[in-house]
Each structure stands twice: as structure tokens, then as C-alpha cells.
Amino acid sequence: MALSRTGRRMLATLRDTTFRSLRHRNYRRYFAGQIVSFVGTWMQSAALMWLMYDRTGDPRWPSWLLVAQVGPTLAFGAWGGALADRYPKRTLVLFTQTAFLVNAVVLTVLVGTGVATPYLVLALIGFNGVIQAVDFPARLAFVPDLVPKEDLINAVGLNSLVFNSARAIGPAIAGFLFVAAGKVAPHLPEGASGVTIGATTCFALNALSFLAVLRALRRIPEPRRHEKPAASPLAGVLYLREHPALGAVVLFTFALSAFGWPVITVLPAYTRLQLGLKEEAYSLLLSSLGAGALGAALATATFGSVSRRGAFLITGAAACAAGMAGLGFAQVIGLACGCCAAVGFGMILFLSTAQSTLQLAVPDEVRGRVMAVWAMTLSGSAPIGHLLAGHAITVAGVGPVLFGMAAGIGAVFLLLAGMALARRNSPEPVS
């Protein structure tokens, strides 16, 4: 009886704290649809990385894929944000998610039939990136339409929870499918490749996953719109320039992302060259990265508040730097997984806190364009971070690249800690 009472109390606490945004019906529908869709997205992403590395043997290909995916947001993100402020966000997201589905179907057919060359796959992913340039700012700006302001930090945390649960689950499913395909391939006609079969299966399941989010979006009524003036794409940049504290958050986000996210493109080469292992280990490392990120998303959803923003930003940068340095030293899979979890935890603790800071501070009329700047910041880090990391591995090796990335993140931590210390020691204004 005591255990049952304790269990009910814990469930009530989770309902009223960690998952309190789910009491809002429209957000609950959106949340459920995103769970399925993001699992499919991460499954496809992991499969693409391994497929291209397996076919080419070149550690730069994973970085080129990521640049093709996120680079268009840097080029067209301001335009996408202007659309989000000008037109109904739900309609925009419905359109972009449908386009993602079609692209996934085409990728499935071309890879499955053996038609797709590496450069054709790169072109398809580049088209996906153009869709994302509209989808990303529209989805970010759509969340405040689904929950009241007092639940916005929690909703942002839950969005990170969904995204990073998928980051852990999707690659794990992809790894299982690759292993299963490898066992089936020898029994198929000569020339059948286990990697191709596994990747094609992942792409097909990703296409199906978009049906869940499309169904959820169709059940959410369009929020009442007010007539809006023509949206200048540069309004987000101008707003951040007028509010330097928010602008600093965006700059730190750029730096942390440039040095932190390239770990994803490093992992295929790291798995083979430093650990001497195969795709099962690669999938495990990606899942560990996602598990750490999942822990950070839970922490943000449960404990995130305005008063803790500074501490969360500093802790996130510190955890990410320590995990990255640890990866440079690690020679065994267990330690490497722990370091990946630390990197994932630090990145998401920082990014979810920074995103909720912007969402709370920005007025509705420019939210789409400011969040487009946020999306462009994350995307702009890719051409710099991923391409440099992929090229540097061919020159210096995996370990030195990881140490360099750790040093860059450590610099962000020192700047944040120094600013917090200076603010604490600054004299109180005399009235």
C-alpha cells in the first residue's frame, strides 16, 4: 500500500511538473505526432551516415551530408521566418512535413533500386534542407500557439525530450535493422548488400513516420490570426541587435554548436579508426549521445526556470567540454559511450535553456523571424564545424580533432563563467 501511494505521488509529480504542458490538448496531439516522426528522422540520419561512409570510405562524406541538410537554412532561414510570421504556422508545417514525406519516399526508391549515387543522395538531402529552412522556424514559432506563456519553458523542454528520445531510439533501431539485414543478405541473390537493405528499410520507415505528425496537425485547429503587415526578413536580426543580452545568447549558441555538433560526423571514423569496431558500436555511441541529451531534456522540463538559466548554460558548456575531451582519450566502447552521454547532456542542457530564453523574451509579432535567426545560427555552425572536422580527421586524425573541439567548447564555458562572476561581483546600483 505504501509503495502504491508513493507511486501515485510520483506520477502526480511528473504530471504536474515534468509533463505539465501535456494537459493542453493541442500540444498533447502535437507532442505525440512528433515522437513518431523524430524517431524516423533520426533513424534515417544514422542510416545515411553509415551508408555513405560504407560506400565511399571517406570520413568527409558524413559532414557533407549534414551540410547539405542544414546549409539551406543558413541561406533561406530568414525567408522561412518571414513566412512563419506572415502565414498560418500550422498550414506551413503541414506543407513542409508533406514535402519531407515525399522526399523520403523518393530516397527509399532510388537507394533500394541501386540507382542512387552518392552525389544524387547529396542532392536529395540538399532539397530536404530547403524544406527545413521553412519548417524549422515555423515549428519553433508554432509551440507558443499551443501552450500559455507560463508553460512555455516546460514545452520547450518537452520538445527537447521528444527530439532526444528519438536521437536515442532512432539510431538504435537503425543499428538493429543493419544487423538484421547483414544476416539476411547472404541468402539473397548475389550482389545484395546488407548495408543497402538496412538503409532502404530505415528510409521507408521514416517516410511512414511522417503520417503520424500529419494526422496530429490536421486535428489541431488553426490559431486565430490577426492581420499582419508584410514581414521584413531582417527584423529578427535588428531585434537581437537592439537587445544585446539575447544577441549574446545566440552568439554563444553558434560557438557551442560549431565545436559540439561535429561529434556526429566524427563518430563513424572514430568507431573504426580509434575503437576498431563496426556499425553496432557506432549505433551504440549515437544512442548514448541521445541518452545524455534525453537526460538534459528531462532536467530542463522538470527544473528549468528563469532563475536557473545562467547555471544551466554554464553547466551545459562544462559537461560538453569534459565529454568531448574524454572521447579523445577513450579507447574502449564503455568509456566512449559515457563520454558521448556527457556531450549530449551538455549540448541539450545549453541549447534548450538558450531557446526557451529567446522564446520567452521575444514578442509574438517577430517570433518567427527571431527563431529563424536561431535556426540559422544552428545551421551556420554546420558548414564551419562539420566540414572542418571532417577535413581535419584526414590530416590530423580523430583524437587531435576531438581535443580541438573540447578546447573550443571550454572557451565558451570560461566566457560564460567569467560573465556570471563579473555580474555577481558588480556593485549594486545606488538609488
- Expressed in percent and rounded to 5, the helix, strand and coil fractions of the chain are 85, 0, 15
| The pLDDT of residue 393 | 86
DSSP 170-234: HHHHHHHHHHHHHHHGGGSSTT--HHHHHHHHHHHHHHHHHHHHHHHHHTSPPPPP---PPPPTT
Q: What is the CATH number of the domain that holds 182?
A: 1.20.1250.20
| The pLDDT of residue 2 | 47
Q: Is residue 10 part of a domain?
A: no
Q: Is residue 12 part of a domain?
A: no
Q: Structural domain tally of the chain?
A: 1
Decide which of 359 and 340 is more confident: 340
Q: Is residue 431 part of a domain?
A: no
pLDDT of 198 over the 50 cut: yes
Q: Is residue 87 part of a domain?
A: yes
Cell of 124: 536529395
pLDDT tier for residue 228 given thresholds of 50, 70 and 90: low
Helix (H) or strand (E) holding 428: none
The answer to which of 186-190, 263-267, 399-403 has the lowest mean pLDDT is: 186-190
Helix axes 194-218, 89-112, angle to 10 degrees: 160
Q: Is residue 226 part of a domain?
A: no
- Calpha distance 66→50 (Å, rounded): 13
Q: Is residue 172 part of a domain?
A: yes
pLDDT, one tens digit per residue, over 103-138 is 999 999 998 888 888 889 899 999 998 998 889 888
| The pLDDT of residue 4 | 59
Mean pLDDT of the chain: 83
- Calpha distance 416→186 (Å, rounded): 54
- Calpha distance 93→80 (Å, rounded): 11
Q: What is the mean pLDDT of residues 216-245?
A: 74
* Beta-carbon-side half-sphere exposure of residue 64 (alpha carbons within 13 Å): 16
| The pLDDT of residue 11 | 59
Domain membership of residue 61 as a residue range: 20-220+233-425
pLDDT, one tens digit per residue, over 370-385 is 887 887 887 777 667 8
pLDDT of 344 over the 70 cut: yes
pLDDT of 101 over the 90 cut: yes
Q: Is residue 354 part of a domain?
A: yes
| Amino acid identity at 431 | S
pLDDT tier for residue 337 given thresholds of 50, 70 and 90: very high
pLDDT of 346 over the 70 cut: yes
